[in-house]
Amino acid sequence: MMRLARLAVIMASTLTFASTALAQQESDATQMSVEEISNQIATLQTEYDNFSDTVATLQREEQQLREQLQSLRERNRELEQQRQVALEEMNNRYQQLVDDPSIDIAGAQEAYKEAVMAHQQNKEDIKTQVQLVSAKSREVEEARVSKHSLLNEIETFKDQRNVARVERLQEEFNRTGDLEVSQSIVCDREETLSQCETRGKLLAKQKASKQYLDQTLADLSESELARTNLERVSPNVQILGSKTVSDGFSGQGNYGVKMGVELRGQLPQSQACTLLDIDVRYCAVKRTASNEPATDEPVDSSVMHPLTIRSNVYDDEVMIDGVSYGSTPIEVMLPGGEHEVEIIKYGYTAFNQTLNLKDAQVIRAELEKSEYSFTRGEKIQDILFRDVRGPELVVMPSGNFKMGDLTGNGMANERPATTESIARPFGITDTEITVTDFRKFVNDTAYVTEAEKNGSCAVLQNGMPKFNDSLNWRNPGFSQSETSPVVCVSLNDAQAYTQWLTQKSGFDYNLPTEAQWEYAARAGTETDFWWGNDVGFGKANCRNCGSDWSNQRTAPVGSFQRNPWGLFDTVGNVWEWTTSEQSSVVRGGAWNFAPSLARVSTRMELPADFSSNYIGFRVVRAQ
């Protein structure tokens, strides 16, 4: 429990401040303005940059200690040689003393004594130096572990800032105001005076609406950005009331009117994110303001409508709102409203469509052959022993892909982007390894995880990873089902599992390399997430991502749509262990981490013996 003690001192001012502010922000998002949140982010970013320097300093100190240890060991060899020389000289003097008792051997004795003492002192120095190196190495590991929690706080504040930006935009746009406008028109010969008057007042109201909209846009805090994206939305102005200040006809048949108009801007909530050019999930946050106008067109969700889906292939799979409905053709009854439809078949590009169901509808999908031709039988599940089967895998093809930050949204350790080659096809589990999968291993081997032995499963508390000796894969601190991803396992535990699979199946199992993981997670895409550059809402289990499990606990594997190559949960749920030439790295984000850290290229280096209730793994198998 003392492993993070020193680091806690380093991080205290940063994370205590951040977690306190975050708790306040999440309890009442309206209490902090966009500017206040931006100031918090700037402060935390400075702390993060300083902390990065601290980590680098600790690593340099560790290297210096290791160099000093090497010098002591080299010195030890020299002192041992000196001791041997002094011993040989003293033995020679003793031999001479036998023949000549008058010979003085005190000098040789003293030289040998000094050589022995110097050698013993150096050995003590080596022992002390080994302890210093070990302590500094642990300090470096703890620093690397804790650094990511601060980054999570920063990214979470960024999310809160976007929510606050939407709130501010809605408040600024949907305000009520008054305008006085003047309008003159020439009456048509075919019009009666009453018709000309009605037309003149209507044009005056239209003029007031246009002026009010222009003025509202000009007064927005993010006016320039809003104007850039204005063509992508359809804001409107509601006329609440009007009164004629003065009007009249001229002798030439002209009509003039001066009107006072009360107006209110109306920006549909779903369009606020478009106007700000941010992910639509920020506009799915439930508003609490009692006076906010309901501008979105209502859909009666109690009415059921038939939906028929057909495709040009057989043996496909239809997913509606993340739920499988089997193969086409199908006809289902769905409530009115928005639904996500996806049709998948290995070897074909997935068909995706968002529809707003208001009446009976038919979808005729045309699936096209994908670049990589998968065929039936490319799902693998090895028999381990008796009727016990290993985890199910999906074959990934060989090929080249771009790896790293391809969109400019990444961090320094994701750059530069490179072109990587996957020389051979490989199988990878379509889900994270589950509690059931891991239990088969433990029951067969009586394996004890590092967290169970050392009480070292970490949880995030007030933004800091804290070790809890009562938590392990059987009890991670929240409820799990047998189909939930196993957590509180270190990289060493995960590798023990792969070695067991290899032994039992006769095939070569391993943890995925970083390249294999990102290749499979990208599934041929070059965006931050396999479906695009925005995480969306309700598409994954990450902090404030709109799922039933977000920021609460892990979700059962396969709770969300799989990517075009057949993998579930490559975004969020739990970080997944991977290996690289330099270190152990986790990928993919987690249920309690900001969505910006669940991008396909995000990577975090962690010690191999670290375990937490937000890290799991999946495995690969060579063909």
CATH classification of the domain holding 153: 1.10.287
Does a structural domain hold residue 271? no
Does a structural domain hold residue 370? no
**pLDDT, tens digit, for every residue of 540-570?**
999 989 899 999 999 999 999 999 999 999 9
Beta bridge partners of 361: 307
Tokens 């002026």 correspond to 211
Q: Give phi and psi for 432, each to the nearest 5.
A: -70, 155
User: For residue 342, what is the domain's CATH number?
Assistant: 2.60.40.10
Does a structural domain hold residue 295? no
Tokens 């067991």 correspond to 500
Cα separations in angstroms, 221 against 35, 165, 503:
11, 9, 63
pLDDT higher for 334 or 502? 502
pLDDT number for residue 473: 97
What's the domain count of the chain?
Answer: 4
Structural domain boundaries enclosing 581: 379-622
**pLDDT, tens digit, for every residue of 369-379?**
665 443 433 78
Closest CA to 107 of 120, 96, 122: 96
Q: Is 54:143 a contact under the CB 8 Å cutoff?
A: yes
Q: How confident is the model at residue 346 (pLDDT cuts 50, 70, 90)?
A: low
**Same structural domain for residues 349 and 427?**
no
**Same structural domain for residues 110 and 223?**
no
Does a structural domain hold residue 521? yes
Does a structural domain hold residue 371? no
pLDDT number for residue 323: 66
If you ran DSSP here, which 8-state letter would residue 89 be given? Answer: H
**Same structural domain for residues 394 and 346?**
no
pLDDT number for residue 122: 92
Q: Using the 3D structure, point to which of 218, 251, 266 is the last residue of a domain.
A: 266
Q: How confident is the model at residue 280 (pLDDT cuts 50, 70, 90)?
A: confident
Cα separations in angstroms, 306 against 96, 107, 309, 330, 400:
113, 107, 10, 10, 43
How large is the average pLDDT for residues 142-154? 82
Q: Is the pLDDT of residue 251 over 80?
A: no
pLDDT number for residue 371: 54
pLDDT number for residue 516: 97
Does a structural domain hold residue 246? yes
**Same structural domain for residues 99 and 28?**
yes
Does a structural domain hold residue 158? yes
User: For residue 201, what is the domain's CATH number?
Assistant: 3.30.1660
Phi-psi region of 430 (alpha: psi -120 to 50; beta: other; left: phi over 0): alpha
User: How far is residue 464's CA from residue 147's CA, in Å, rounded to a whole number?
Assistant: 9
**Same structural domain for residues 148 and 185?**
no
Contacts of 568 (CB under 8 A, 6+ apart): 430, 431, 432, 557, 558, 559, 560, 561, 562
Q: Is 340:539 a contact under the CB 8 Å cutoff?
A: no
Beta bridge partners of 318: 343
Closest CA to 48 of 152, 158, 136: 152
How large is the average pLDDT for residues 403-427? 93
**Same structural domain for residues 424 and 546?**
yes
Q: How confident is the model at residue 6 (pLDDT cuts 50, 70, 90)?
A: very low
**Percent over 70 (pLDDT), the chain:** 88
The model carries a pTM of: 0.66
User: For residue 569, what is the domain's CATH number?
Assistant: 3.90.1580.10
pLDDT number for residue 360: 62
**Same structural domain for residues 225 and 339?**
no
User: How far is residue 586's CA from residue 112's CA, in Å, rounded to a whole number?
Assistant: 56
pLDDT number for residue 34: 93
Cα separations in angstroms, 266 against 173, 176, 358:
7, 10, 23
- Cα dihedral angle (322, 324, 329, 330), rounded to 10 degrees? -80
**Same structural domain for residues 132 and 229?**
no
Q: How confident is the model at residue 306 (pLDDT cuts 50, 70, 90)?
A: low
How large is the average pLDDT for residues 124-130? 92
Does a structural domain hold residue 548? yes
Q: Is 423:399 a contact under the CB 8 Å cutoff?
A: no
Buried b (16+ CB within 10 A) or exposed e, 510-529: bbbbbbbbbbbbbbbbeebb
Strands 317-320 and 383-385: unpaired
**Same structural domain for residues 235 and 155?**
no
Q: Is the pLDDT of residue 422 over 70?
A: yes
pLDDT higher for 585 or 151? 585
Q: How confident is the model at residue 141 (pLDDT cuts 50, 70, 90)?
A: confident
Buried b (16+ CB within 10 A) or exposed e, 371-388: ebebeeebebebebeeee
pLDDT number for residue 258: 94
pLDDT higher for 435 or 622? 435
pLDDT number for residue 287: 43
Q: Give phi and psi for 341, each to the nearest 5.
A: -115, 130
Q: Using the 3D structure, point to which of 142, 168, 194 is the last residue of a domain.
A: 168
**pLDDT, tens digit, for every residue of 37-70?**
999 999 998 888 888 888 889 889 989 999 999 9
Q: Is the pLDDT of residue 489 over 80?
A: yes
**Same structural domain for residues 359 and 385?**
no
Q: Using the 3D structure, point to which of 168, 187, 211 is the last residue of a domain.
A: 168
Phi-psi region of 523 (alpha: psi -120 to 50; beta: other; left: phi over 0): left
**Same structural domain for residues 187 and 127?**
no
**Same structural domain for residues 161 and 57?**
yes
Q: Is the pLDDT of residue 289 over 80?
A: no
